[in-house]
Amino acid sequence: MAINLELPKKLLVTVDQAHQAAANIFRPVSRKYDLREHDYPIELDTLASLYDGLTETGQAGAGADGGRKQPQKELPEGAVANGGNMAACLNVLETSWGDVGLVLSMPYQGLGNAAISAVATDEQLESFGKVWAAMAITEPGFGSDSAAVSTTAVLDGDEYVINGEKIYVTAGSRATHIVVWATVDKSAGRAAIKSFVVPREHPGVTIERLEHKLGIKVSDTAQIRFENCRIPKENLLGSPEVDTKKGFGGVMQTFDNTRPMVAAMAVGVTRAALEEIRRLLEEAGVEIDYDKPAQSQHAAAAEFIRLESDFEGAYLLMLRAAWMADNKEPNSKEASMSKAKAGRTVVDVTTRAVELAGTLGYSEHLLLEKWARDSKILDIFEGTQQIQNLVIARRVLNKTSAELK
C-alpha cells in the first residue's frame, strides 16, 4: 500500500478555511469559555452557516452526508480517493489546534454524525443527513465495554420503544438528535446491539444533568434518560436483522470512522502545544538543531525533538486510517492504532509542555495548562488506551473478542 504523504490539492482549501476559523474564531475565545462552563458559544453559529456553504460547493460540509454525498468521479484502475473521511480528519485537526472543546460543540459535526455516515442507508441519509447528532453509548453500569449495553429497544408495531440511561453524551443537550446504542434482544448478546436516531426534544427523552469536567469545559456532556421513548422503526440505522455470525460488527463500524477523527483532534492539540513550547524555548535562547545528536544539545531541545517525533508518528497514522476508510479498505486495526498513538502522544506532549514552560505553563497566562486538561479526554473517549491496544492485538493475532479479552 503506497500513500503519498503530501496533502491533495483539493483538500488544501478545507485545511486553510478550518485553520482560519481556528485562529480567528476559536483561539480568541478559548479561555473565555473555559471559564464559563456550559455556556453556549454563540460564535459557532457563524461556522454552522460556513459548513452549509461548503456542502453546497461540493466540499465536505455539514451533517452526516458531508462525506457520503460528494460527487464521485470514475477513477482509473489503481487510482486512490481522498474523500469525506480525510477531509473530516483534516478539518478537525486544524480546528482542534484552536480549541478542541469548541470542535466538540460545533453544530452538525457531532460524533453521532459520523455514526450516521458510517452505517445509515441512502434512504436514511435523506432523513438524517442534515441533522446535528450526538452519540450515546456509555451507561452507568459500564465504561469501555460497549458490548455491555443494557438500554433496550423493543419493537411494538411500527415503532421501537427505548428505555435506559446514558451518561457522558458529548453535545447531548445541544444536538438536535441523539444516536443511541440499545439492544433489541438481550438474549442474543452483542449481535443484537443496534443504533437508533432519536430526536432530543421528544417524548420520553430527559436531560438529567450536565457534567462538570476536568477539561473541554465549553462542551456540554449530558446524562440522558430514555423512558418509554417511541420512535419509528425506520430510525434504526442499518439492518434490523440480528446476525450472530456478523456479531457486533455493524455498530462497531462506527468507530472505524470516529477513531481517526478523535486521533485528528489529538494531533491538533499536540501541534498547538508544540508550537507554543517551541516559541518559548527559542525566546529563552534554546537552539533546536536537528543535525546534532540529542546528547549534544540542551536537555529541553532534546526533549522537544522527542516529542515532535511522536507527533509526526501520530499524524501519519491518522492520515493512514482516514485514507483507508476513503478507499474502502478495512481499517479497524489502523483506526485503533491512530487513536492509541495520538491519545498517548497528546497527553505526553501537553504535560511535558507545561513542565518545560515552568510557571508560565501552570498559569492561565497561556493556554498550555488548558491544553493539558483538555488532552486527557482524547485518550479516553471513543475507547480508552487499553481498549485500543486490545483491538490492535486481536487484529494482529487474528483472535476474536471471545478468544482475547
Q: Decide if 234 is catalytic.
A: no
How would you label 373-400 residue by residue, b for 16+ Cβ within 10 Å and e otherwise?
A: bbbbbbbbbbbbbebbebbbebeeeeee
329: how many CB neighbours lie within 10 A of its CB?
12
Do residues 262 and 337 touch, judged by C-beta distance below 8 A?
Answer: no
Q: Which of 2-6, 99-103, 116-120, 190-194 has the lowest mean pLDDT?
A: 2-6
Tell me what pLDDT residue 191 has.
86
Q: How confident is the model at residue 71 (pLDDT cuts 50, 70, 90)?
A: very low
Handedness of CA 200, 205, 209, 212 (dihedral sign): negative
Cα Dmax for the chain:
74
Q: How confident is the model at residue 129 (pLDDT cuts 50, 70, 90)?
A: confident
348: how many CB neighbours lie within 10 A of its CB?
17
Fold designation for 249-397: Butyryl-CoA Dehydrogenase, subunit A; domain 3 (1.20.140)
Please tell me which residue in 94, 334, 369, 382 is annotated as part of the active site: 382
Tell me what pLDDT residue 234 has.
96
Range 132-235 classified under CATH 1.20.140.10: no
Share of the chain above pLDDT 70, in %: 90
pTM for the full predicted model: 0.92
Average pLDDT over the chain, rounded to whole? 90
Range 9-126 classified under CATH 1.10.540: yes
Domain limits, CATH 1.10.540, in the chain: 9-126
Question: Can you tell me the distance from the alpha carbon of 145 to that of 58, in angstroms, rounded to the nearest whole number?
Answer: 38
Question: Can you tell me the distance from the alpha carbon of 54 to that of 61, in angstroms, rounded to the nearest whole number?
Answer: 5
Domain limits, CATH 2.40.110.10, in the chain: 132-235
Going from the C-alpha of 375 to that of each of 50, 194, 214, 321, 351, the distances in angstroms are 27, 30, 10, 21, 9
Domain limits, CATH 1.20.140.10, in the chain: 249-397
Residues 6+ apart with CB under 8 A from 369: 354, 361, 362, 363
CA angle 197, 381, 265 (to 5 degrees): 95
Identify which has the larger pLDDT, 184 or 130.
Answer: 184
Tell me what pLDDT residue 82 has.
81
pLDDT at 56 over 80: no
How do residues 199-231 score in pLDDT, each as one tens digit?
A: 999 999 999 999 999 999 999 999 999 999 999
Q: Which of 85-94, 106-115, 165-174, 354-363 has the lowest mean pLDDT?
A: 106-115
Q: Which of 100-109, 239-248, 272-281 has the lowest mean pLDDT?
A: 239-248
pLDDT at 183 over 70: yes
